[in-house]
Amino acid sequence: MKKWLGLLLSLIVVGVLVWLAFFWRRPESKPQPEQTTSTPLSYQLIDLSRVKSFLLENDYGSIKFSKNEYGIWGIVEPVKSMTDPLFFGGMIDVLSQTQKGRVVATAEEESLDKYGLENPYARFTFELDSGEKKHLRIGRPNPTMSYLYAWYEESPEIFLIHPRIRMFLNHPLTWYRFRRLIGINSSQVSELKITVFDPELRKKLAVPKVRHLLCEVTENKIKWYLLEPVKEEAESGAVSNFLGWLEKVSIAEEVQDISPEQEKEWGLASPRAEIEILYPDRVQKVLIGAEKNNLIYLYQPEQHKILGYPLEQIYQLLGTEFRQRTLFPWEEREQVDEVEIIFPRRNYQYRLVKINDKEWEVKDQPEKKFHKKRTRWVFRALYRTKIDGYINQRPIDFKKYGLQIPKIKIKYYKKGEILREFWIGDWDAKKYKCYVYDPNKDLLVWYSENIGEWFPPDEKYFLIKEGGDESESEQ
């Protein structure tokens, strides 16, 4: 999950803000001597049911929201757009719940600056259904930091309000816009195709040009399979995380509307990469375009806007490894009834054969029997150790990876036929890498530990009399 922490950062920040708005309370203090009356004015700051539109002005500019005939808020200025359901929704909820507190002063021109109302933190202009307009200024916190000063320009009274509204007010205008990918439903996706056109980006991410995945739904569970670059079962959890990010987590740092004429400017005419999401009845595309100002821009043709994300966030997404994280699945390991261990550099080998559910022996030497638990030494390294990375470059320079003459070759058999074969190269102590090659699938992977040390160098190690190991669990 560490990998996805960076991808979730934007969602976490907004989530924390909303949590603070609704669940965090400052210690309430009695208002200080600035009060001029002891009469509480405990009523709603603004009745949003009577508001048809409002303008918010802050240090970043102004943005206007309007309610349609169905009571749904949208942005009408400076551009027409949907609102962000989490951030804008949080602001609306807080506005609707905020009460006017005690009156502390009478608004006079010379006193406005004292309360931060001459150049306010933010301004609202509410337009009511009746056509009436109300202008609200939000000022600085009071001395105890437990309230904010506020003032309706149509009224002489400066009053106190709860400070939680402040966290929604002074942000870039894009924070209020809908800034996510749209229309993605991960539960209905039947195929996923990721194409990285840019060779430099492929090299940076160490990924093949095309990764094509197919979903298979059974009664019990969903399985994903790779069709390209290899045909094999995929890591379904990795696919789920990838689609989950696209559907739920993809909150952009920046959003801009663009016209078709601007697509080339943003690297969309010839995108660096493309994500195709296939459903039974439609296809969605997400294009990965230009890098600008430490952001990389994504584009959905149906949105007519680009979404800017931190570079590393998109690099991690596109670099997702969908292949299995182990070379030798447990299901295949259970089918093995014979193992051949070859040491090509010293021209030595031995073979182990399964006799029954509890015993194995050195092949053709029935007097050399041993308990099945000792076979874990020739299985564990490949079915339990997680792959740390894949090498996609072809052709393979076998000498570079210590595989021209492998240190060890392992062949696993089922009923006399080779089920799987692996070659293990040298341990690179400088890079902390051990390379393993699967000649049948043309897969080259690396581990951050020397897995070649797992394999006994001689058959005699299986025959040593040593108490206790028969009771150890293999898994």
Is the pLDDT reported for residue 1 higher than 80? no
Structural domains counted in the chain: 3
d(CA 117, CA 104): 13
Report pLDDT for 421.
Answer: 96
Whether 160 and 12 share a structural domain = yes
Whether 216 and 313 share a structural domain = yes
DSSP track, 206-241: T--SEEEEEEEE-SS-EEEEEEESS-EEB-HHHHHH
* 410 located within any domain: yes
* 360 located within any domain: yes
Whether 339 and 310 share a structural domain = no
Report pLDDT for 238.
Answer: 93
Share of the chain above pLDDT 70, in %: 89
Whether 152 and 247 share a structural domain = no
* 324 located within any domain: no
Tokens of 143: 């001395």
Contact status, residue 298 vs residue 309, Cβ threshold 8 Å: yes
Contact status, residue 31 vs residue 160, Cβ threshold 8 Å: yes
Whether 148 and 259 share a structural domain = no
- 32: pLDDT confidence band, cut at 50, 70 and 90? very low
* 20 located within any domain: yes
* Residue 11 lies in domain: 2-176
Q: What is the dihedral of CA 239, 244, 245, 246, to 10 degrees?
A: 90
Whether 355 and 250 share a structural domain = no
* 323 located within any domain: no
Whether 156 and 214 share a structural domain = no
Whether 267 and 125 share a structural domain = no
Task: Mark which of 318, 347, 382 sits at the end of a domain.
Answer: 318
Task: Mark which of 176, 204, 224 sits at the end of a domain.
Answer: 176
Beta pairing, strands 43-44 & 51-58: unpaired
* 164 located within any domain: yes
d(CA 394, CA 29): 70
Whether 340 and 232 share a structural domain = no
- 291: pLDDT confidence band, cut at 50, 70 and 90? very high
Share of the chain above pLDDT 90, in %: 65
- 404: pLDDT confidence band, cut at 50, 70 and 90? very high
Whether 309 and 343 share a structural domain = no
Give me the residue label for tokens 């093949």: 208
Report pLDDT for 354.
Answer: 95
Is the pLDDT reported for residue 124 higher than 70? yes
What average pLDDT does the segment 130-140 reach?
A: 95
Report pLDDT for 221.
Answer: 83
Is the pLDDT reported for residue 446 higher than 90? yes
Report pLDDT for 467.
Answer: 54
Average pLDDT score over the chain:
87
Burial class (CB in 10 A: 0-12, 13-18, 19+), 372: middle
Task: Mark which of 151, 176, 201 sits at the end of a domain.
Answer: 176
What average pLDDT does the segment 205-212 reach?
A: 92
Higher pLDDT, 109 or 123: 123
Report pLDDT for 30.
Answer: 42
Whether 25 and 167 share a structural domain = yes
Report pLDDT for 307.
Answer: 94
Whether 349 and 404 share a structural domain = yes
* 236 located within any domain: yes
Is the pLDDT reported for residue 94 higher than 50? yes
* 181 located within any domain: no
Task: Count how many Cα atoms sit within 13 Å of the Cα of residue 241 in the half-sphere of its side chain.
Answer: 19
Per-residue pLDDT tens over the stretch 144-154? 899 999 999 99
Is the pLDDT reported for residue 469 higher than 50? no
Report pLDDT for 220.
Answer: 75
Closest CA to 394 of 204, 192, 198, 209: 209
